[in-house]
Amino acid sequence: MTRAPRTCTPLSLACALLLAACGGGGGGNEMGGDGVRVNQVGYAPGTRKVAVVVAGDATTFNVVDTTTGEPVGAVDRPLGEASTFGFSGETVRVAEFTDVTAPGTYRIEVEGVGRSYPFEIGSSVYRDPALKTLKAFYYWRASTAIDAEHGGAWRRAAGHLNTNLPFHSSAAALKATTADSWSAPGGWYDAGDYGQYVVNAGITVGTMLALHELFPAAFPGDDAQLDIPESGGGGVSDLLDEVRYELEWMLAMQDEDGGVFFKIAGLTWPGWVMPAADPTTGSRSVIGKSTTSALDFAAVMAMAARIYGLDAPRGAGDASFAAECRQAAIDAYAWARANPDVAAPTYTIGSGPYGDSNYTDEFAWAAAELYATTGDATYLADVDLDAALDAVSLSGYAGWQNVKNLAYYSLAVNGALDAALGAGATDALRAAIREKADEHVQTMAANPYGFPLDHYSWGSASQVANVGVLLVYAARYAPDEDSYRRYVDAATQTADYVLGNNSTGYSFVTGVGDRTPMHIHHRPSQADSVRAPVPGLLTGGPNSGLQDRGNGNPPVTYSSRCSDARPVFCYTDQYESYSSNEPAINQNAAALFLFAALDALANI
Residues marked as catalytic: 193, 521, 573, 582
Amino acid at 77: R
Return d(Cα 370, Cα 296) in angstroms, integer. Answer: 12
Return d(Cα 169, Cα 174) in angstroms, integer. Answer: 9
Return d(Cα 557, Cα 573) in angstroms, integer. Answer: 8
In three-state form (DSSP H/G/I as H, E/B as E, the rest C), the secondary structure along 134-180 is HHHHHHCECCCCECHHHHHHHCECCCCCCCCEEECHHHHCCCCCCCC
Contact 542, 534 (CB under 8 A): no
Per-residue b or e along 543-579, where b marks 16 or more CB atoms closer than 10 Å to that residue's CB? bbeeebbeeebeeebbeeebeeebbbbbbbbbbbbbb
Return d(Cα 454, Cα 451) in angstroms, integer. Answer: 8
**Of 329, 342, 449, nearest to 379 (Cα)?**
329
**DSSP structure string for 359-384:** -HHHHHHHHHHHHHHH--GGGGGGS-
Return d(Cα 460, Cα 463) in angstroms, integer. Answer: 5
Instruction: Give residues with Cβ within 8 angstroms of 105, minimum separation 6.
Output: 65, 66, 67, 118, 119, 120
Return d(Cα 455, Cα 239) in angstroms, integer. Answer: 32
**Of 12, 25, 109, nearest to 70 (Cα)?**
109
Return d(Cα 473, Cα 451) in angstroms, integer. Answer: 19
Peptide bond preceding 313: is omega within 30 degrees of 0, i.e. cis?
Answer: yes
In three-state form (DSSP H/G/I as H, E/B as E, the rest C), the secondary structure along 504-535 is CCCCCECCCCCCCCCCCCCHHHHHCCCCCCCC
Return d(Cα 181, Cα 172) in angstroms, integer. Answer: 10
The dihedrals phi and psi of 169, each to the nearest 5 degrees, come to -55, -30
Amino acid at 458: W
The alpha carbons of the chain give a radius of gyration, in whole angstroms, of 23
Contact 500, 38 (CB under 8 A): yes
DSSP letter assigned to residue 538? B
Residues in the chain: 604
Contact 167, 179 (CB under 8 A): no
Return d(Cα 23, Cα 598) in angstroms, integer. Answer: 29
Q: Which helix (H) or strand (E) holds 107?
A: strand 104-110
Instruction: Give residues with Cβ within 8 angstroms of 549, minimum separation 6.
Output: 557, 558
Residue 483: how many CB atoms within 10 A of its CB? 16
Contact 391, 433 (CB under 8 A): yes
Contact 286, 322 (CB under 8 A): no
